[in-house]
């Protein structure tokens, strides 16, 4: 004996089936949600590249010179590269994000990539540490100058981290825990991983000649 079909129940069943099919389709077509270091939803952003023209040493503002001379224990007159320290000031405290290139998050090689392009106008700067290491003329530690690159072997991996040497033994880098910071190269938590440093070889330089900034 067949039971009579309730039109209302049939309509409800069709509606539920349609809703379940549409949710499944949405899940398949959704883009991955980018999240920041705090687990919050973050919209992907493209890096902002400032067009500054050919590299020219610019005098820093007095406030910038005072701040960074005090931080690194050097004379105020030793802070001469306004482009460099203005860039660092803009990026200071930016959180670390693997693969990041923007102010919402940046990794170590991305920070160096941006710095060398925007401060020194090095257009052919590689993006990753494994290529950046081949972009320098190696120096002894005591020979390092402002703008040189310094590499570290983190997690047992050779040249897995990079920063930029400043003055008086200080480097700026994108730390995985603290974001963009300035620290002593000889900081115990950092120096034990120090591997190599050197000046960037500019396009057209010979093997004997490097940037020498």
Catalytic residues: 108, 161, 173
> Do 104 and 185 form a contact (C-beta atoms < 8 A)?
no
Question: Exposure pattern of 163-175 as b/e (b: 16+ CB <10 Å)?
Answer: bbbbbebbbbbbb
Q: CB under 8 Å to 31, separation ≥6 — which residues?
A: none
Q: How far is CA 41 from the centre of its chain?
A: 20
Instruction: Give dist(CA 158, CA 59) in Å, integer.
Output: 37
Instruction: Give dist(CA 199, CA 205) in Å, integer.
Output: 12
Instruction: Give dist(CA 115, CA 87) in Å, integer.
Output: 7
> Do 65 and 175 form a contact (C-beta atoms < 8 A)?
no
Rg, Å, the chain Cα set = 25
Instruction: Give the SS3 label for residue 212.
Output: coil
Neighbouring-strand partners of residue 175: 179
């Amino acid at each position: 004996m067949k039971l009579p079909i309730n039109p209302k129940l049939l309509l409800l069943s069709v509606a539920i089936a349609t809703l379940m099919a549409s949710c499944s389709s949405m899940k398949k077509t959704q883009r991955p949600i980018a999240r920041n270091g705090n687990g919050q939803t973050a919209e992907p952003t493209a890096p902002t590249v400032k067009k500054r023209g050919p590299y020219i040493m610019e005098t820093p503002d007095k406030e910038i010179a005072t701040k960074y001379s005090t931080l690194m224990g050097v004379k105020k007159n030793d802070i001469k590269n306004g482009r460099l320290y203005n860039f660092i000031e803009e990026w200071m405290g930016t959180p670390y994000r693997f693969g990041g290139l923007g102010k919402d998050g940046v990794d170590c090689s991305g920070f160096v990539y941006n710095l060398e392009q925007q401060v020194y106008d090095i257009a052919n700067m590689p993006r990753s540490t494994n290529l950046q290491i081949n972009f320098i003329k190696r120096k002894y530690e005591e020979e390092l100058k402002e703008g040189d690159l310094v590499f570290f072997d983190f997690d047992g991996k050779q040249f897995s981290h990079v920063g930029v040497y400043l003055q008086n033994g200080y480097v700026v880098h994108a730390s995985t825990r603290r974001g963009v910071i300035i620290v002593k190269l000889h900081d115990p938590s950092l120096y034990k991983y120090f591997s190599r440093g050197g000046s960037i070889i500019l396009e057209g330089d010979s093997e004997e000649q490097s940037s020498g900034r």
